[in-house]
Amino acid sequence: MKLASGILYTERQISQRVGEMAGQIARDYAGKTLVLCAVLKGSIPFLADLMRLLPGDVRLALIEMKSQVDGKHAKILFTSSLDLAGQHVLVVEDIVDTGITLDYLLKHLEVERAPASIRVAAFLDKPSARKLDVPVHYRGFSVPDKFVVGYGLDWQERYRNLPYITWVEPE
């Protein structure tokens, strides 16, 4: 696979859109404590940019998820012992594609952690790949059915550092 020569979203477009999302989230959670539950590793740039733009009491919980071979189950590891019971939780995702992993995470959080509310902020959404209907309350950009990289998203741990979104294609 090689890096494509085109750019889907520039650094400037990303910055502008994250700012717009932060504004909407700030309005929706005004006066409330918000817990950002970020799914590692791809969401880190989005998380960092988003949380710096959110006013008020914002807390952080990091989640590491490992998908199983069958693609239907995932192992969830919280890297924080933060109690989510009764809290307003915003799951911060890099990309939602099939929806399988996100569906599993949301069900786990609702049952095991009992938050007061739970919503999803996804930097990228790939609706053409969706296998399960999952909620995406705050959406950065929709992307075509390509293997996108950059701004935290990777291909074999490469290209996460790119400040823009592009894709990889077969050589």
CA separation, residue 145 to residues 97, 110, 169 (Å)? 9, 30, 12
Pairwise CA distance, residues 11 & 164, whole Å: 5
Q: Decide if 1 contacts 163 (C-beta within 8 A).
A: no
Catalytic residue list: 97
Helix-, strand-, coil-residue percentages of the chain, each rounded to 5: 25, 35, 40
Q: What single-letter amino acid sits at 86? A: G
β partners of residue 60:
36
141: number of CA atoms within 13 Å, CB side? 21
